[in-house]
Chains A and B, each alone.
Chain A
Amino acid sequence: MATQHSRTAARLMISPAVILLFLWMIVPLAMTLYFSFLRYNLLMPGMEEWAGFSNYRYFLTDPAFFTALRNTLVLVAGVLMITVTGGILLALLLDQPMWGQGIVRILVIAPFFVMPTVSALVWTNMFMNPVNGLFAHAAKAMGLQPYDFLAQSPLLSITLIVAWQWLPFATLILLTALQSLDREQMEAAAMDGAGPLSRFIYITVPHLSRSITVVILIQTIFLLSVFAEILVTTNGGPGTASTTLTYLVYVQSMLQFDVGGGAAGGIVAVILANIVAIFLMRMIGRNLDA
């Protein structure tokens, strides 16, 4: 089928889809880029004028920017650590033969089906609330002072909420990887004198490495744009303690009506995402090679 003719036909047939996808990506990006060089404030419609790099200058010198940058990276790294470690442990547990396996697996996956806004609301109001939350009740039952999660460690609280949402995803991917592990390899390792811990380190973890890479890459893409959880819980506060880059862009364009500044922030976020992606691919991307 790989004749010259069929290849030309294939390119021709595939071109509408490729062109559409390309436009889909390039038009919003180009418009954002264009807006980022305009003085474009929603309070002053029709007064747009060329602003050069001043939007970028203001955005990058904003004291909130570096806090936001740090918060973004801390949030992503924290969630990744919790979900990958927790995911491996949960997957190991779920891989054991047990009664009611099917139901337990569905229960574990359930958090992934809850919308981010809803789960954030449930966590803030039912668990982390210092007066009515379950954690507060538990603390009081033990005679301790209730802890105000969202006020005292807002970023950690949001990290926990997001990690709770993404844990099922990691568990699911790692569980399927675990189930594809050849049983004879485990038995061979057992005969070779490897104890349970050695078998985990030398057989299971290398076998899982590819799936861990997939989990990290996919989650990073989504975690860089976490927004609803912050809006619903802390609004980026107190101060800028839980403001991430995404949230800062929102503040800039929607609360300060500065579309130009927001667009500049958006471009900065795109550049940051690409830097993270390059680092990730350098560090772990080779695991994806067969």
Chain B
Amino acid sequence: MGRITLRNVSKRFGDVTVIPPINLEIEDGEFVVFVGPSGCGKSTLLRLIAGLEDVSGGVIEIDGVNATELPPARRGLAMVFQSYALYPHMSVRRNIAFPLKMAGMDPAEIARKVEAAAAVLNLTGYLDRRPGQLSGGQRQRVAIGRAIVREPKAFLFDEPLSNLDAALRVNMRLEISELHQTLKTTMIYVTHDQVEAMTMADKIVVVNQGRIEQVGSPLDLYRAPANLFVAGFIGSPKMNLIGGPEAARHGAVTMGLRPEHIDLSTSDGTWRGTVGISEHLGSDTFLRVQVEGLGMITVRTGGDSGLRHGDAVFLTPQPGRMHRFDADGKAMA
């Protein structure tokens, strides 16, 4: 079980309100990702749930029990830190065994559980090494091992992949997702990388300046962003946001168009523009097109686009794919 409910939870440091009162429901077994730009309060939110910070107001319930005043150890949650926070003077074995030892478990039982966790995480050959002798990915796995042996109600991940190189990050992303499929335990995952959020989450919580901007499944957020912030944050490359008379023509203050929802033609179309920088990814090409009156528009096209810098092109928005936002940045129906 691992159902976590936040009710009017807020956090202030002195006079500064980091997190205004927020409400959030996390279901048992869900993979929830908190995503937002650096310094938006998503890590603080996680630390509030972990009990590493005291809440300034509101109630945190874990499995229906009020855990607001409980110390971190008694909340039954396990956390994987950004720096991994392994104990440098202990072997991998003792690192993974530490929470069990603290719980006063029988040594034989501890040994069995550590071996089992090591087998799941491909760490069996490394049990007697020190963390300093491991690579980044292995350390990451030790940190996860230390979390899973406790069989917690929920896992908390605080930007766990940000210290890994790009290739390893993709691997660990898959491993964590698979771990979630195997364990079926609630996981809360904090990241600033919207790709991680989109690929891993059952439910994404977009956080901005301590506020929850939108909660939903990855595709919900992609298809129907509730406001300008979510629209700009989710999706890569960023959604094109167009203001001015063109937006007004569609009855909006700002209109948004994703690069993949614009058709490109060399002969005719709604808008005429000039190709600027193009990024070739092989499978796709992203063109930056300078359109008169609209500014720079990013367009996705096929990998074998023969367009060059300075070519004239025509852009046509796909019907029904346009997002419209009002003066407050809220999405319009």
- Name A's B-contacting residues (CB within 8 A): 182, 184-185, 187-195, 198, 202-203, 206-207, 209
- Are A203 and B81 in contact (CB-based, < 8 A)? no
Quick check: is B77 within 8 A (CB to CB) of the other chain?
yes
Nearest-CB residue, chain B, relative to A290: B132
What residue in chain B is nearest A192 (Cβ atoms)?
B99
Nearest to B103 among chain A residues (CB) is A193
Contact B79 A188 (CB under 8 A): yes
Report whether B83 and A182 are in contact in the complex, using a CB–CB cutoff of 8 Å.
yes
**Are A192 and B73 in contact, with the CB atoms below 8 A?**
yes
Q: Which B residues touch A187, using CB under 8 A?
A: 52, 72, 79, 81, 85
- By a beta-carbon cutoff of 8 Å, the part of chain B in contact with chain A is 50-52, 71-73, 77-79, 81-83, 85-90, 98-99, 102-103, 146, 150
Interface centre among A182, A195, A207, A209 (most CB of B within 10 A): A182
Taking a contact as CB atoms under 8 Å apart, the answer to whether A203 and B50 are in contact is no
- Residues of A close to B102: CB separation below 8 A: 192-194, 198
Cross-chain contact B78 with A202 (CB below 8 angstroms): no
Contact in complex: A191, B77 (CB < 8 Å)? yes
Which one of B71, B85, B89, B103 contacts A188 once the chains associate, using CB atoms below 8 Å? B85
CB neighbours of B79 from chain A (8 A):
187-188, 191
**Can you list 26 A-B pairs with a CB-CB distance of less than 8 A?**
A182-B83, A184-B81, A184-B82, A184-B83, A185-B85, A185-B86, A187-B81, A188-B81, A188-B85, A188-B86, A189-B87, A190-B52, A191-B50, A191-B51, A191-B52, A191-B73, A191-B78, A191-B79, A192-B102, A193-B99, A193-B102, A194-B73, A202-B90, A202-B98, A206-B87, A207-B88
Main DSSP-derived SS at the B contact region: loop
A206: chain B residues within 8 A (beta carbon): 87, 89-90
A202 to B97, CA, bound (A): 13
With both beta carbons as reference points, the residue of chain B lying nearest to A207 in the complex is identified as B89
B9 to chain A, nearest CB (A): 19
Question: When the two chains form the complex, which single residue of A185, A190, A209 contacts B73, counting CB atoms closer than 8 Å?
Answer: A190
- Let me know if B73 and A193 touch, CB within 8 A: yes
Tell me which residues across on chain A come within 8 A of B146, comparing CB atoms. Answer: 188, 192
Q: Which residues of B contact A203 (CB under 8 A)?
A: 87
On chain A, the residues within 8 Å of B86 by CB distance are: 185, 188
Contacts of B90 on A, CB cut-off 8 Å? Answer: 202, 206
Inter-chain CA distance A190–B75, complex, in Å, is 11
Closest Cβ–Cβ distance, residue A197 to chain B (whole Å): 11
Closest 8 CB pairs of A and B: A188-B85, A192-B99, A184-B85, A193-B73, A193-B102, A206-B89, A184-B81, A185-B85
A64 to B262 Cα, complex, angstroms: 99
Contacts A184-B81, A184-B83, A198-B102 given: A191-B89 contact, CB under 8 Å? no
B71-A190 in contact (CB<8A): yes
Q: Known interface pairs A191-B78, A191-B79. Does A185 touch B87 (Cβ–Cβ under 8 Å)?
A: yes
Tell me, in angstroms, the Cα distance from A258 to B103 when the chains sit together: 67
Docked complex Cα distance between A198 and B89 (Å): 15
Cα-based distance from A193 to B151 in the complex (angstroms): 13
**A191 to B146 CA separation, bound complex (whole angstroms):** 11
Chain A residues with CB under 8 Å of B87's CB are 185, 188-189, 202-203, 206
A153 CA / B212 CA spacing, docked (Å): 70
How many whole Å from A248's CB to the nearest CB in chain B?
A: 42
* CB-nearest residue of chain A to B89: A206
Distance (whole angstroms) from the CB of B303 to the closest CB of chain A: 43
